[in-house]
């Protein structure tokens, strides 16, 4: 079975998003456990920084799910499988 360029690109993009997601989760954990780190981010500080990271994490997770769903959908169309 041949995998096309778009599928490989989507998988690479999902992998990069997953790595960024992991790094942001670690950063959010550090900010929660060490409140003095929350002041290092100049634009947003305190709990608003944690909320901002939460929204960023949700959007990255939605992008990963969307990419994986589109890969599944395109594979089903190629194989002629019913939904």
Q: Name residue, tokens 């929350």.
A: 38
Tell me the mean pLDDT in the region 26-30.
82
Contact between 31 and 38 (Cβ < 8 Å): yes
Tell me the mean pLDDT in the region 31-57.
76
- Maximum mean pLDDT: which of 25-34, 61-70, 74-83: 61-70
Q: Name residue, tokens 């456990």.
A: 33
Find, among 16, 22, 11, the residue nearest to 75 by Cα: 11
What is the C-alpha end-to-end distance of the chain, expressed in Å? 20
How far is Cα 26 from Cα 80, in angstroms, rounded to an integer? Answer: 41
């Amino acid at each position: 079975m041949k995998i096309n360029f778009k599928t490989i690109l989507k998988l690479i993009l999902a992998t990069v998003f997953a790595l960024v997601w992991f790094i942001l989760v670690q950063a959010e954990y550090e900010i929660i456990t060490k409140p003095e780190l929350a002041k290092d981010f100049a634009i947003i500080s305190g709990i608003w920084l944690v909320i901002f990271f939460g929204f960023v994490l949700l959007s990255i997770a939605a992008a990963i799910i969307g990419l994986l769903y589109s890969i599944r959908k395109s594979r089903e169309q190629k194989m002629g499988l019913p939904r």
